[in-house]
């Protein structure tokens, strides 16, 4: 960008020099001399504008790699957020004035019955939808001010997603499913291979990494989904009912694997669940009803 601006200045100066030579031949020099300051001002304004937009785009481009300045800074902050859907002539208020802060490295759960707004809130934090009112900050950045390209970079680099039904690609092996997000992000092949193997070993799937999803149990598939979400080292992991399709024993094992991995990776985890036992494994729980947080409490998650 700096080189482009220098070339722009040189080109404009050459043009002005040529115009002044022509003006000398046609006795138009006084007019050009009066116009020269205006031309200079316009040129300077153009270049300053380019620099401002470049610096702004660079800041947003690398947003996905921004880290909180300290462990006490909010990794996620939600301020007066509302979400309203229109169904025909009716309005559905899915979220009503949500306020919360989640610190870096916390493992929190949104718990509540169906229709309480927990998944809607998760989708807003995951930049899969926009709030009707209010603001959401990730690592201090106001999401409402970002363009779609920057939001895409944020989803790809800063946030990892875990779904209830795994969403693994059936024709790919466990290894290939975990490797895919790194391939899309442009991670070199050797680095992809090393990290994929390390992650699968961490969840006990070293001997299953070349099996396809239909050759894995439900718990194994969800563990693959967990390490896939962590493949690009996101600072935030969002898990939507990660145990909803599992029996209670396997569900606890999966959440424990998620806890262990998030601790080792230093990631903030936000999990949606309707199961009090699973919510009890989080360090903090936000109880939700009718689009509102009615209670916030901490757990002794090591118990």
- Quote the CA–CA distance of 298 and 54 in Å, as a whole number: 43
Distance, CA of 294 to CA of 291 (rounded, Å): 9
The label of the residue with tokens 């950045």 reads 141
Do the strands 292-298 and 284-289 form a parallel or antiparallel pair, or are they unpaired? antiparallel
Q: How far apart are CA 200 and CA 207, in angstroms?
A: 9
Q: What is the per-residue pLDDT across 161-198, written as a single tens digit (0 to 9) for each? A: 998 888 899 999 999 999 999 998 889 999 999 999 99
Superfamily of domain 74-298, CATH level 4: P-loop containing nucleotide triphosphate hydrolases (3.40.50.300)
Reported as a pLDDT band with limits 50, 70 and 90, residue 125 is very high
pLDDT tens for 5-53 read: 545 555 665 666 555 555 555 554 555 455 555 555 655 565 555 544 4
Whole-angstrom distance, CA of residue 116 vs CA of residue 102: 19
For residue 17 the two structure tokens come to 């020099």
Sheet holding 74-87, edge to edge: 90-103, 74-87, 133-138, 141-142
Which stretches of the chain are assigned E, i.e. beta strand?
Answer: 74-87, 90-103, 107-111, 133-138, 141-142, 159-162, 236-240, 268-273, 284-289, 292-298
Asked if the model's pLDDT at residue 299 lies above 90, the reply is no
Quick one: the chain helix, strand, coil %, rounded to 5?
Answer: 45, 25, 30
Residues 26-34: contacts with CB under 8 Å, at least 24 apart: none
| 242/258 Cα distance (integer angstroms) | 10
Q: Which residues pair with 101 in a beta bridge?
A: 77
| pLDDT for residue 62 | 40
39: CB partners within 8 A, 6+ apart: 12, 16
Q: Is 236 helix (H, G, I), strand (E, B) or coil?
A: strand
How many Cβ atoms are within 10 Å of 111's Cβ, its own excluded? Answer: 22
**Range 94-101 average pLDDT:** 94
* Closest alpha carbon to 255 in 242, 266, 267, 265: 242
* % pLDDT > 90, the chain: 46
Summary count for the chain: helices (H), strands (E): 9, 10
Query: For residue 302, is pLDDT > 80?
Result: no
Contacts 24+ apart (CB under 8 A), 250-257: 250/217, 250/218, 250/219, 251/275, 251/278, 252/277, 252/278, 252/281, 253/219, 254/219, 254/222, 254/223, 254/226, 255/281, 256/281, 257/203, 257/223, 257/226
pLDDT in tens, 52-92: 444 444 444 444 444 433 444 558 999 999 999 988 888 89
Q: Tokens for 104, please give them.
A: 């870096």
Q: What is the reported pTM?
A: 0.72
Report the pLDDT value the prediction gives residue 303, as an integer from 0 to 100.
46
């Amino acid at each position: 960008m700096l080189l482009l601006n220098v070339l722009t200045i040189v080109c404009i100066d050459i043009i002005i020099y040529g115009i002044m030579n022509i003006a000398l031949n046609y006795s138009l020099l006084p007019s050009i001399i009066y116009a020269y300051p205006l031309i200079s001002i316009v040129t300077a304004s153009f270049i300053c504008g380019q620099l401002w937009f470049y610096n702004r785009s660079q800041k947003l481009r690398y947003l996905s790699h921004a880290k909180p300045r300290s462990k006490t800074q909010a990794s996620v902050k939600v301020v007066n957020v509302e979400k309203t859907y229109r169904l025909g002539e009716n309005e559905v208020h899915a979220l009503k004035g949500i306020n919360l802060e989640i610190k870096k490295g916390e493992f929190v759960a949104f718990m509540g019955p169906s229709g309480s707004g927990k998944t809607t809130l998760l989708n807003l934090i995951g930049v899969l939808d926009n709030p009707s009112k209010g603001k959401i900050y990730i690592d201090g950045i106001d999401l409402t001010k970002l363009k779609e390209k920057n939001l895409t970079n944020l989803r790809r680099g800063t946030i990892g997603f875990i779904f209830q039904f795994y969403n693994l690609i059936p024709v790919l092996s466990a290894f290939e499913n975990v490797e895919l997000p790194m391939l899309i992000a442009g991670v070199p092949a050797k680095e992809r291979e090393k990290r994929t193997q390390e992650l699968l070993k961490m969840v006990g799937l070293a001997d299953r990494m070349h099996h396809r999803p239909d050759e894995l149990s439900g718990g194994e598939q969800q563990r693959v989904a967990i390490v896939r979400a962590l493949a690009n080292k996101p600072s935030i992991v969002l898990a939507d009912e990660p145990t909803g399709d599992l029996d209670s024993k396997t569900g606890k094992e999966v959440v424990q694997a998620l806890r262990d991995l998030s601790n080792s990776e230093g990631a903030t985890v936000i999990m949606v669940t309707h199961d009090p036992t699973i919510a009890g494994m989080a360090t903090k729980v936000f109880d939700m009803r009718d689009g509102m947080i009615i209670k916030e409490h901490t757990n002794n998650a090591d118990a």
